[in-house]
């Protein structure tokens, strides 16, 4: 009896493996692949996702479409993928907010990153930099910290919304530097940037590409880059570590996720195809032009990054007592 049961289980396992293999062999078979982007059309996540999807479609000789599902801090798009069939035809272009921050900001979200998703590949990283209104008499990070301490409670900093990486960067700076400042959330980065230039805000964090035009025309001043290494577009701008504040990394990132249960052969295939694309010099150059760094790597490495980032931001959010519900 026991032997019969064992043979039955082995047969089921072999059948399952053969089914997976058949799926991978036939994949994608002309059926459109959908990448759900939880941010609006024209956002940095959307632009980077479309750049990758176009090239992936060429490489797979198959349609790869981008589907923008916005709202609820990215939760609507994430939930759509979490509950989609795990057949390799639906992916999420997850953001730092969706994958590592939302669970700490909200008492309840309609998806679970650990249980309902499997990481595929980290696609890109977008560093933030500290910007100030040129009226502030500061040019270095130590000068900024000293000025903020001597004007305690007088400074306002903006962001593209509660819980975004620019908001959390400001909170981290307050915590690490021992300064006080009032956070002013906006509907988007451009609105906050406008108020920073007009003097209604004194500082904020923003991504390099969005800030570059205003840095060139002198309407804003950059203090330091919140990334491990300098940005090629601003080679003279020091990192926070170089300016005297180590381990200050507030790099936004995005990456592909699939519904849990997606055949591992398909995960491996999409990972290898995307990794090859992200390693191409022309793709890396295009991403640099868009203010991002093409990443790549294994699905396991991306999973580790998500867990590490979740732990880091969870601790900060708890310390700063930030809640969005």
CA-to-CA distance for 120 and 117, rounded, in angstroms?
Answer: 9
Report pLDDT for 165.
Answer: 87
CA-to-CA distance for 85 and 226, rounded, in angstroms?
Answer: 38
- Determine phi and psi for 4, rounding to 5 degrees: -65, -40
Same domain, 172 and 311: no
Contact 260, 169 (CB under 8 A): no
Exposed (0-12), middle (13-18) or buried (19+): which is 86, by Cβ within 10 Å?
middle
Same domain, 156 and 112: no
Last residue of a domain, one of 175, 191, 226: 226
User: 59-84: per-residue pLDDT in tens?
Assistant: 999 999 999 998 888 899 999 999 99
Confirm whether 238 is domain-assigned: no
Same domain, 196 and 268: no
Same domain, 118 and 158: no
Confirm whether 90 is domain-assigned: yes
Confirm whether 325 is domain-assigned: no
Same domain, 297 and 285: yes
Strands (E), 60-148: 64-68, 90-95, 117-132
Same domain, 84 and 120: yes
Same domain, 158 and 181: yes
User: 222-247: per-residue pLDDT in tens?
Assistant: 999 999 999 988 999 999 999 999 99
Angle at 309 between CA 306 and CA 312, to 5 degrees: 150
Confirm whether 136 is domain-assigned: yes
Domain containing 46 equals 27-126+251-320
Report pLDDT for 249.
Answer: 92
19-32: average pLDDT = 75
Last residue of a domain, one of 226, 242, 271: 226
Provide the CATH number for the domain around residue 146: 3.40.190.10
Same domain, 220 and 131: yes
Same domain, 119 and 256: yes
Check residues 290 and 10 and name the one with the higher pLDDT.
290
Report pLDDT for 13.
Answer: 47
**Closest of 212, 203, 117 to residue 166, by C-alpha:** 203
Angle at 74 between CA 321 and CA 300, to 5 degrees: 90
Provide the domain count of the chain.
Answer: 2
Confirm whether 4 is domain-assigned: no
33-54: average pLDDT = 92
Interstrand relation of 64-68 and 33-37 (parallel, antiparallel or unpaired): parallel
Contact 228, 221 (CB under 8 A): no
Confirm whether 6 is domain-assigned: no
Confirm whether 1 is domain-assigned: no
Provide the CATH number for the domain around residue 311: 3.40.190.150
Contact 133, 219 (CB under 8 A): no
CA-to-CA distance for 109 and 48, rounded, in angstroms?
Answer: 25
Same domain, 93 and 58: yes
User: 85-131: per-residue pLDDT in tens?
Assistant: 999 999 999 999 999 999 999 989 999 999 999 999 999 999 999 99
Same domain, 105 and 195: no
Confirm whether 298 is domain-assigned: yes
| Predicted model pTM | 0.83
Average pLDDT score over the chain: 91
Last residue of a domain, one of 160, 192, 226: 226
Same domain, 114 and 162: no
Neighbours of 278 (CB within 10 A): 21
200-226: average pLDDT = 93
Report pLDDT for 6.
Answer: 47
């Amino acid at each position: 009896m026991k032997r019969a049961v064992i043979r039955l289980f082995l047969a089921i396992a072999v059948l399952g493996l053969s089914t997976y293999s058949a799926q991978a062999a036939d994949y994608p078979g002309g059926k459109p692949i959908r990448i759900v982007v939880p941010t609006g059309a024209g956002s940095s996540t959307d632009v980077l996702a479309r750049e990758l999807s176009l090239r992936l479609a060429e490489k797979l000789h198959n349609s790869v479409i981008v589907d923008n599902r916005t709202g609820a801090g990215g939760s609507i798009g994430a939930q759509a993928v979490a509950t989609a069939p795990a057949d390799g035809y639906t992916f999420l272009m997850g953001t730092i907010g969706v994958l590592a921050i939302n669970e700490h900001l909200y008492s309840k979200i309609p998806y679970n990153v650990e249980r309902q998703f499997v990481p595929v590949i980290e696609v890109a990283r977008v560093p933030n930099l500290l910007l100030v209104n040129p009226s502030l008499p500061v040019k270095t990070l130590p000068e900024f910290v000293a000025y903020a301490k001597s004007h305690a409670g007088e400074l306002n900093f903006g962001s593209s919304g509660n819980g975004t990486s620019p908001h959390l960067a400001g909170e981290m700076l307050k915590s690490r530097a021992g300064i006080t400042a009032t956070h002013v959330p906006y509907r988007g980065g451009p609105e906050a940037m406008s108020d920073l230039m007009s003097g209604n805000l004194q500082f904020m964090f923003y991504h390099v590409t969005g800030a570059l035009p205003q840095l060139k025309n002198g309407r804003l001043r950059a203090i330091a880059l919140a990334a491990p290494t300098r940005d090629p577009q601003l080679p003279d701008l020091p990192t926070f570590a170089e300016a005297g504040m180590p381990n200050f990394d507030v790099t936004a990132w995005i990456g592909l996720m699939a519904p849990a249960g997606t055949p591992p052969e398909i995960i491996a295939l999409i990972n290898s195809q995307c990794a090859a694309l992200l390693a191409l010099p022309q793709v890396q150059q295009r991403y640099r032009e868009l203010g991002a760094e093409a990443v790549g790597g294994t699905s396991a490495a991306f999973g580790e990054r998500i867990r590490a980032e979740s732990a880091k931001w969870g601790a900060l959010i708890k310390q700063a007592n930030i809640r969005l519900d």
